[in-house]
Amino acid sequence: MINASLKELADALAARRVSAVELTEHCIERIGRLDKGLNAFITVDPGRSLEQARAADARIAAGHAGPLTGIPVAHKDIFVAKGWPSTCGSRMLASFVSPYDAHVVERFNDAGAVVLGKTNMDEFAMGSSSETSWFGPVRNPWNVDRVAGGSSGGSAVAVAARLAPVATGTDTGGSIRQPAALSGVCGLKPTYGTVSRYGMIAFASSLDQGGPFARSAADLAVLLNVMAGFDARDSTSLERAPEDYARELERPLPGASAGKPLGGLRVGVPSEYFSAGLASDVASAVESAIDELKKLGASVIEVHLPNTGLSVPSYYVIAPAEASSNLSRYDGVRYGYRAPEYDDLVDMYCKTRAQGFGAEVKRRILIGTYVLSHGYYDAYYLKAQKIRRLIARDFTDAFRQCDVIAGPVTPTVAFALGAKVSDPVQMYLNDIYTIAANLAGLPAMSIPCGFGSEGLPVGLHLVGDYFTEARLLGIAHQFQKATDWHARVPAGYA
């Protein structure tokens, strides 16, 4: 049951071979038994989950079930959920219980899905390894001495270790795709504005985007159908006609022929991505995956993204600038942590923020405040915004020649816990391949495509032009019909 697809689970629920309560209990039992060694969850609340599962069973019995009714979903703890602790991995919000639901949570609840729990993450989603959490690091089920990737590491691991069939995450600079790659699951960051940010605790608002984690592209499509859609409470939510993200899973491309489902597809491979920083084991798994796309009928061409090298430096100006502004709300007055002892109001602010935030969050606030300050704004912030435009233009140019861009998600397989925590620049360099899609607002995904050294998973990165999620999912689905990387289960979690 724990390896079943969403379609198989929905069929089993409809045929009453399993109930939503049994499915939820099964996940809760696995979390109880296996999560001690992984730390993927910050909060589980079986009473609450089972109450929703009972309601889902009643809905199924009444014949009103949808594709997600009765399906347990693990939500990244950046999405607030009514009545649930919503911590964002921070001491600042460690005892904050949300009075309302995020739009994403609301959508899943309306669909009859079950909130299985809240997953662990880097504090305020700042990190590439899920080690900066106030609740301790997440461990990788493929090797518990390795990182899970971040910042949505808990969600990726919950899916990889079969603690949850599916999960949600957010991606500001790679936080869905990078942990998906390092933990061996599928993750999709949609076009900016597709998924409402309402109730998604803000990190860098012009980059943050919610998206799904699952074990297959077909499951991601089912999840995105529920998560996506206009929401007037998010001023950057896109007002577009609803679409069925599963529509291209089985629809042949115009140039397809027998045995060549990807016939006519032009895959662009950026030469900049296969350079010195890329580990050879990752490069060879990604190259084999690109060969597989060729076997499926795609043609592969070289493209150029000349400003790739500027994406990390510009992101690490823009994201901290926005974060320093967004995080000013945590002042000990309105909600969240307040220092227990202080002299006056200013001292209360200072002590609250000194005690409530961890080192990485403080580093971001300092950088952000600096680059926005008078005298440095033009030199750093404004320049980074100009570079952001150039990076977006690189993609526009590339998409004149190709339909999709393929490459690595991460420069290496999962690294050892603790290996990069004291060297922020090394940590930031993990984001070299993922950040550009956020700066440009493009949809991008990671799917498992092989294993590197010591049997650790490698992800294939697919980046599409705006609003081409359905096609990306279709390409990934064809790849997954021809290969079984996405079906591999870490030893001990089958």
Residues tagged active-site: 76, 151, 175
When asked if residue 172 is in the footprint of ligand GLN (CB under 6 A), the reply is yes
Residue among 60, 104, 303, 319 that touches ligand GLN (CB under 6 A): 319
Whose Cβ is closer to ligand GLN: residue 170's or residue 478's? 170
When asked if residue 151 is in the footprint of ligand GLN (CB under 6 A), the reply is yes
* Contact pattern from residue 192 through residue 211 relative to ligand GLN, giving x for each residue in contact according to CB under 6 A and a dash for the rest: -----------x--------
Least CB distance from residue 65 to ligand GLN, whole Å? 34
Length of the chain: 494
* Contact pattern from residue 91 through residue 110 relative to ligand GLN, giving x for each residue in contact according to CB under 6 A and a dash for the rest: --------------------
| CB of 75 closer than 8 Å to CB of 105 | yes
CA distance 139 to 143: 8
CA distance 460 to 121: 22
Whose Cβ is closer to ligand GLN: residue 86's or residue 128's? 128
Residue among 39, 49, 133, 175 that touches ligand GLN (CB under 6 A): 175
Residue among 39, 69, 128, 308 that touches ligand GLN (CB under 6 A): 128
Whose Cβ is closer to ligand GLN: residue 392's or residue 489's? 392
When asked if residue 431 is in the footprint of ligand GLN (CB under 6 A), the reply is yes
The one segment of 14-22, 166-174, 264-272, 371-379 that binds ligand GLN by CB under 6 A: 166-174
The one segment of 11-19, 165-173, 246-254, 349-357 that binds ligand GLN by CB under 6 A: 165-173
Least CB distance from residue 168 to ligand GLN, whole Å? 13
The one segment of 4-12, 121-129, 416-424, 455-463 that binds ligand GLN by CB under 6 A: 121-129
Whose Cβ is closer to ligand GLN: residue 203's or residue 433's? 203
Least CB distance from residue 177 to ligand GLN, whole Å? 9
Whose Cβ is closer to ligand GLN: residue 221's or residue 432's? 432
| CB of 304 closer than 8 Å to CB of 394 | yes
Residue among 70, 173, 193, 268 that touches ligand GLN (CB under 6 A): 173
When asked if residue 326 is in the footprint of ligand GLN (CB under 6 A), the reply is no
CA distance 43 to 239: 34
Query: For residue 193, how far is the Cα from the chain centroid?
Result: 15
When asked if residue 183 is in the footprint of ligand GLN (CB under 6 A), the reply is no
Query: For residue 274, how far is the Cα from the chain centroid?
Result: 24
Residue among 89, 153, 174, 184 that touches ligand GLN (CB under 6 A): 174
When asked if residue 182 is in the footprint of ligand GLN (CB under 6 A), the reply is no
Tokens of 342: 């202080």
Least CB distance from residue 226 to ligand GLN, whole Å? 22
When asked if residue 125 is in the footprint of ligand GLN (CB under 6 A), the reply is yes
Tokens of 185: 């699951």
Q: Is-cis flag, bond preceding 151, omega within 30?
A: yes
Least CB distance from residue 140 to ligand GLN, whole Å? 16
CA distances from 470 to 172, 216, 237, 465, 487 (A): 21, 14, 19, 11, 21
Residue among 171, 272, 292, 403 that touches ligand GLN (CB under 6 A): 171
Beta bridge partners of 187: 213, 446
Site size toward ligand GLN, by CB under 6 A: 13
Whose Cβ is closer to ligand GLN: residue 210's or residue 448's? 210
The one segment of 42-50, 97-105, 120-128, 472-480 that binds ligand GLN by CB under 6 A: 120-128
What torsion, rounded to 10 degrees, do the Cα atoms 243, 77, 128, 173 define?
Answer: 40
The one segment of 169-177, 325-333, 442-450, 477-485 that binds ligand GLN by CB under 6 A: 169-177
Which residues sit at the interface with ligand GLN, rule CB under 6 A?
Answer: 125-128, 151, 171-175, 203, 319, 431
